[in-house]
Structure 1
Amino acid sequence: MTEEPRNIIIRMPNWIGDLVMATPLLSDLRNRFPKAELTVMCQSNLSPLLRQDTDVDQVLSFTKKQKWVHSDSADISRSLKLGGFDVGILTTNSFSSAWWFFRGNVRRRIGFGGNFRSLLLTDKVSEPVNKEIEHQVVTYKRLLAPLGIGISETKPRLHLDPEEVGAAKERLRKWGVVLGKTPLIGINPGAAYGSAKCWLPERFRDVTQKLMEDPDCFVLYFGDSSTSKLVNDICSGMPQRVINLAGKTTLAELVATLSLCSVLLTNDSGPMHMAAALNIPLVALFGSTNPVKTGPFGIGQVIHKQVSCSPCYRRVCPIDFRCMTSIGVNEVYEAVRKQLAVKLK
């Protein structure tokens, strides 16, 4: 009988949305090995998403500059060696991530093959024959097969920081939002991957103006510093009930504020997956990417037009952007109102 692992490390994905989609692995590992020490390894900017996770014993974070540096300036391979990990699971497909597990003496190294790293793995997992017809959440779960864990029904989830949620509630109160009574619509008009994933800014503005016809409705615009100009342009001249938070929240503050929204309107993005993991009703607009593979898992409404060139996975559309221009303002507005009705039931 194989000895059960006592010290497990999981290298989490580098993108917000992918990291959220990989969180079911944490629950499944904890359920299967309740006595094991569970460590997650991730980039430092994403660690706030995991520090409140009750299934996690330790977060090993690093920054990636010219080389990988652990958050306390220790060499990452030394940190792995000191951890004495008997099992390591790689959700990332890079050669470098497998190399660090190999260098760090992680005894059993589980991951997908490819990228010249198969010799660094002790357990090479086969990817699905056609990844386009399988949700990424399920694909990540395949990594647990060598440990005897089958594909579960576990959904992505995020654990909230009570202090951050309390602070977010206080900010909303000061802006005039009455939680539980005020329709609070979050809108995320950007996407880190590129403009091909983004609906037209003027249409976000048009939907917002229609939402403002309800005198009780508030809209929160989310975004990072790279999308602040885009959001500024959309929000320019809007009523005070349209609140621009682009570039003004930390990741922890974003999670806390999202958790208080009635509905989120969003492109395919990290905040979309965060809202789904928080069980927030949402409307997700898809163009260049595939909602079957990376759509919100188990909640919300996807609007995706079946044009011949989608999904193309390009960062910028080289032609007429038909996948997004074919999504109309009234269609999106009605979808948001429908999701709002679901929330307020």
Structure 2
Amino acid sequence: MKSIKHIDPKSIIIRMPNWIGDFVMATPILSDVRSSFPKASITAMCRIGVCQLLETDPDINEIFCFSKASGFNRRDNHRDLMEKIRQGKYDLGILLTNSFSSSWWFYRGHVSYRIGYGGNFRSFLLTHPIHPPSQLKKQHLVKTYKMLLSVLGIPVSKTNPRLYLANQEIKAAQELVKQQGVQEGDILIGINPAATYGSAKCWFPERFVEVAHKLLQNEKIHLVFFGDLESVSLIKSICRTLPPRAINLAGLTSLRELASLISLCRAFLSNDSGPMHIADALGVPVVALFGSTNEIVTGPFSQGRVIHKHVTCSPCYKRTCPIDFRCMKAIEVEEVYQQVLQALFSQPS
């Protein structure tokens, strides 16, 4: 692929991923592009569900927040999106999604240079289609995103996923947990027992209960359980037998409130999920439980303790386990408990 490192773009649009975890793992691209083009205007194009994560990001000038319609409204929606892209007069577009539609929008939106991975019948829509890495399943997704920038002469950097929170947001989170009985000097541990995509990514609820009981033997420890609206009943059942020092916030927070609360945690226990990546991007020590997915590709990037038993059928990437769920059965309560304690009390190396 011919390099275009000679260009000096004045207006850049970056199509961010749709899923929370992928979105967070793509944030180093914003830092790297800003570092390489300090005078450019950078627009982050994001689905409406995740765009709020960039509200205080210093590396971008604008958030292009959109929703994707379906059915009868789909054609009008696509036309409106392409017209808005045309109005931006972008001379460089970077696609961190692999969909045909996103490349079609950039093509019809008259973005001058269009960079993205080829495939999905979209290569002809890109001025610079990049061949997917040969080690795609053997390298972290953060690196895969960064490799797209090589055509611009930007080498793979050491920048980590990151998120920015305003001081008032953190103070609001502190006030919320204080109202729930968390006092200065107490230890707050975040727990995320759910995961988007399917139950195959989730450890057993009863084992989360057992770990929670063991952690709460320390009277200074408070647990805060996170989850989206779909996981409300699951987390309610987990918290039912736990004492008041287990705080259930499932379905009660916005994405930015979730991030602000996670930032207060001394450790974070989670399945492979978006909140896991939020914790990692905020520098919170993570204990991540993996079964059906691959921690080499989507594990915590900056820091984190991964428990993955690597049974013969894992990673299978299935939504539900078709056999006996051996990958998660092999993860024992005591091991998870000890890993959380180590994350809490180990000194940074």
* Pair in the same fold by TM > 0.5: yes
Partner of residue 168, structure 2 = 163
Distance change >3 Å, CA 214–CA 344, structure 1 → 2 = farther
Unaligned stretches of 5+ residues in structure 2: none
Pair 1:82 & 2:90 matched: no
Q: Distance in 2 between matches of 1:2 and 1:127?
A: 23
1:220-239 → structure 2 map (5 Å cutoff): 220-239=224-243
Q: Report the equivalent of 1:212.
A: 216
Q: Are residues 1:121 and 2:116 paired?
A: no
- 1:24-69 CA-to-partner distances (Å, cap 9, x unmatched) read 0000001111000000000011111111100010000101221388
Q: 1:26 aligns with which of 26, 30, 45?
A: 30
Q: Specify the SS of the correspondent of 2:50.
A: helix
Question: Helix, strand or coil for the counterpart of 1:75?
Answer: helix
Structure-2 residue corresponding to 1:312:
316
Secondary structure of the structure 1 residue equivalent to 2:67: strand
Match of 2:136 in 1: 131
Equivalents in 2 of 1:154, 1:27: separation in Å? Answer: 8
Q: Name the CA distance, whole Å, in 2 between partners of 1:2 and 1:285.
A: 44
Structure 1 runs not aligned, ≥5 long:
none
> In 1, distance between residues paired with 2:55 and 2:221?
33
Measure how far apart 1:343 and its partner are.
6.7
1:133/1:3 Cα in 2 relative to 1: closer, same or farther (>3 Å)?
A: closer
1:338 aligns with one of 316, 339, 342: 342
C-alpha contact (below 8 Å) 2:189/2:267 kept by paired residues:
yes
1:146 is matched with which residue?
151
Q: CA deviation at 1:127?
A: 1.2
Give SS of 2:29's match. Answer: helix
Q: 1:107–1:149: structure 2 CA closer, same or farther, 3 Å change rule?
A: same
Q: CA deviation at 1:237?
A: 2.5
Give the TM-score normalised by structure 2. Answer: 0.95
Alpha-carbon shift at residue 168 of structure 1 (Å): 0.6
Q: 2:141 corresponds to which letter in structure 1?
A: Q
Deviation sequence 1:114-157 (CA, Å, 0-9, x none): 00000000001121113111000000001111111011111000
Contact residue 138 and residue 297 of structure 2 kept, 8 A: yes
Could you tell me how far apart the structure 2 residues matched to 1:147 and 1:69 are? Answer: 34
Q: Distance in 1 between matches of 2:85 and 2:347?
A: 44
Q: How far off its partner does 1:183 sit?
A: 1.2
Counterpart-to-counterpart distance in 1, 2:96 and 2:109: 17
Distance 1:343 1:139 in 2: 31
Q: Deviations over 1:144-175 (max 9, x none)?
A: 11111011111000011222211111011111
- The answer on whether the counterparts of 2:161 and 2:302 sit within 8 Å (CA) in structure 1 is no
Q: Matched residues, percent identical?
A: 52
Question: What's the CA shift for 1:200?
Answer: 0.4
Count matched residues: 342
Q: Distance in 2 between matches of 1:51 and 1:74?
A: 26
Structure 1 residues 84, 301: CA separation in 2 closer, same or farther (over 3 Å shift)? same
Q: Find the counterpart in structure 2 of residue 56 from structure 1.
A: 60
Rounded Cα–Cα distance in structure 2 between residues aligned with 1:222 and 1:69: 37
Distance 2:173 2:189 in 1: 15
Confirm or deny: 8 A CA contact 2:10 2:91 kept in the other structure. yes
Distance 1:336 1:289 in 2: 21
TM-score computed with the length of structure 1 as normaliser: 0.96
Tell me, in whole angstroms, the C-alpha distance in 2 between the residues paired with 1:298 and 1:306. Answer: 22
Deviation track 1:267-303 (CA, whole Å, cap 9, x = no partner) reads 0000011000000001000000000111000201000
Equivalent position SS for 1:273? helix
CA–CA separation in structure 2 for the residues paired with 1:272 and 1:283: 9
CA gap of 1:311–1:293, structure 2 versus 1, over 3 A, is: same
> Are the equivalent residues in 2 in contact too, given 1:262–1:343 (CA < 8 A)?
no
Alignment CA distance shift 1:343-1:43 (3 Å): farther
Paired residues of 1:68 and 1:76 also in contact (CA < 8 A): no
Q: Conserved in 2, the CA contact under 8 Å of 1:125 and 1:142?
A: no
AA aligned to 1:81 is R
Q: Which residue of structure 1 aligns with residue 287 of structure 2?
A: 283
Matching of residue 301 in structure 1 with residue 312 in structure 2: no
| Alpha-carbon offset, residue 78 of structure 1 | 1.0
Distance 2:114 2:304 in 1: 36
